[in-house]
Chain A
């Protein structure tokens, strides 16, 4: 385990306020979800999951086709498509558009994909002001922090934290009333929306047959970012494709329910191009940036490819007992929780944090709630096996390997197995190594005086 991972976990565990905040917030999201996917509320829930999973599988397995269809339709409606390999490419595209328009100010709605490429940082290097407009993201931008959770980015902060950062950054009086804090942000950001040259959004779905992006949100900042400025740039990973607008009848029923427990989010935008002739408002330019950013690497692995089915609802985070203890910032990349644990090593290599696939009890709660049925525990197991393959090449994990070799050697020799374990049971247990780690949190189990095997033999002999 890297020192960073270890340290972040320890810090989070040692902070009672943070522990309560994470547990309460995720618990609330869990119960909200449960209420709207119950048999009474949504009898077709499992059927919808099956359909969503099948559509995603089909789309990903034929992704080249749908990407081209999407591109054709965007162009047909007067939009532009930009293909990007890396973070730098994305920044270059945005800078190019900004330069052409003489743009200074950009408003941005929440997008995990732009977090991936650290876009704000890159744009500000070139003198562009890029403002996050989702309330949580705005607060995080002022604090120079990354999202703590895919859908609840400021989950770890309190109203006191917000009062302080607003006071320090905006010069407003210290105010811990959440309604007032929201109004403050509304006021500051309203000016930004009305003066922005470019609006940047992410996309929850890219619709191949329409050349459209679909954006789901509650605040209205995504609508404003994509309606007020003259230019709209949507930035999305290539895996966001679905074939048809009609498929939204499946996906929209699952997304908000799984994420926040709403049947539909407050705003769902289906945007397919610049304004049409005669329209009074709306962007005059429409761009879609398609990001590879490591995704094509994943496609090549048929076993783990389904990691790309994710629709970023965050339900796996809320239901993960490990996430609920270690929080979002312990994770090595912007994606946290179970989905982060499976995609981070696949995007950035196993050595980005070799312990990550092991940071799970394989309890399966994530797979149970995943709206597109990604088998996360199975992928974690695959990744664990890959970590062991890598370790064969380098010198890591030798002790554990030796232990499991010995285990397998004995397990296929029942008599020897029994003798060795009988001997082991009689040794005093010192709280060292694994036993020490166990003892740091719990009392050690007391080995039985005699094994089941011995007791059984005796019983049969009677």
Chain B
């Protein structure tokens, strides 16, 4: 078992949800890893890439490739950012470039958090406890780019005291979509409310995801609707004892 992992916490966790990064580190340490935080990291560059600013995305990608160059494992508390690192970096650079080679070398080393726990650490459970019923929201990039569907569900189902309830619209987008959420605010809000209806139908007291951006979107809509539902990152649930 490799003793060291590096974490790439993503800009949104760094600035808005630091407790998620801390929870992820806690879980990784609990199961025996030494956790490193490469300090040069900032953002994966996805906001620029998704907005069509390819030059800016390339600039940030180069920086991140260098920052993560010597990491054996990079664990990310986000399916979306992990997909950016492992899938889209290569698309940004021409076939024979050095950066393309660096991106290709990074791809097999990047893992979304639940992916890392189940595929690398081979854990079925991490000794967590939680009291109550939760429902799991599939974030789109995790589900469709990284094909993560069962891993977080299995980890949740193994948490002592936790009841996992499937919602009918689990695979439907929450409506965040980066700058989409403000460019098409009305559509984005309507999508979030449709998702909320599905969450409410489960009667769960919390919605869990592996992407903080989806959770920010859902939290904003839940708060506006005045609903008594918590939003939790998988790491936060798994860190609980």
Contacts and interface: CB of A to CB of B under 8 A. Distances in A.
Answer yes or no: A and B touching, Cβ < 8 Å: yes
Interface of A: 1, 9-10, 13, 19, 23, 321-322, 325-326, 355, 357-365, 367-368, 381, 384-388, 400-401, 404-405, 407-408, 410-412, 414, 417, 421, 425, 434-435, 437-438, 440-448, 450-456, 459
Given A411-B43, A437-B182, A448-B18, A361 B53 contact: no
A442 B182 contact: no
Contacts of B145: 364
Interface string B146-185: 0000000000000000000000000111011111111111
Contacts of B182: 434-435, 437-438
A445 B52 contact: no
Contacts of A454: 18
B140 A361 contact: yes
Interface string B1-25: 0000000010001111111011001
A1 B143 CA distance: 30
Contacts of B70: none
B221 interface: yes
Nearest to A410: B42
A10 B184 CA distance: 10
B18 A358 contact: no
A9 B14 CA distance: 35
A406 to B, nearest CB: 9
Given A363-B173, A452-B9, A447 B144 contact: no
B168 to A, nearest CB: 10
Given A325-B191, A452-B9, A452-B18, A9 B184 contact: yes
Contacts of A435: 182
Contact of A456 (B37, B42, B47, B172): B37
B117 to A, nearest CB: 19
B85 to A, nearest CB: 14
A404 to B, nearest CB: 4
A455 B18 contact: yes
Interface stretch (B54-62, B103-111, B127-135, B199-207): B54-62
Contacts of A358: 51, 179-180, 183-184
Binding site secondary structure of chain B: helix
B53 A401 contact: yes
Nearest to B21: A452
A452 B22 CA distance: 7
A325 B185 CA distance: 12
Interface stretch (B93-101, B118-126, B212-220): B212-220
B190 A361 contact: no
Contacts of B216: 445
B216 to A, nearest CB: 5
A10 B186 CA distance: 7
Given A444-B220, A445-B220, A453-B14, 14 more contacts: A13-B187, A321-B194, A358-B183, A361-B188, A363-B177, A365-B140, A365-B173, A384-B52, A407-B43, A414-B42, A440-B185, A441-B188, A442-B217, A443-B223
B172 A448 contact: no
A400 B13 CA distance: 23
Binding site secondary structure of chain A: helix
Given A321-B175, A411-B42, A442-B221, A384 B16 contact: no
Contacts of A367: 144
Given A381-B49, A404-B47, A321 B172 contact: yes
A414 B224 contact: no
Contacts of A13: 186-187, 190
B52 A362 contact: no
A450 B18 contact: yes
A321 B186 CA distance: 13
A54 to B, nearest CB: 21
A164 B49 CA distance: 49
A191 to B, nearest CB: 44
Nearest to B50: A362
A411 to B, nearest CB: 4
Pick the 5 closest A-B CB pairs, nearest first: A441-B189, A361-B177, A442-B220, A384-B52, A452-B18
Contacts of A407: 43, 47-48, 56, 60
B60, B178, B221 — most chain A CB neighbours (10 Å) = B60
Nearest to A449: B18
A425 B144 contact: no
A443 B220 contact: yes
Given A358-B179, A408-B59, A447-B16, A384 B51 contact: yes
Contacts of B187: 9, 13, 322, 325-326, 359
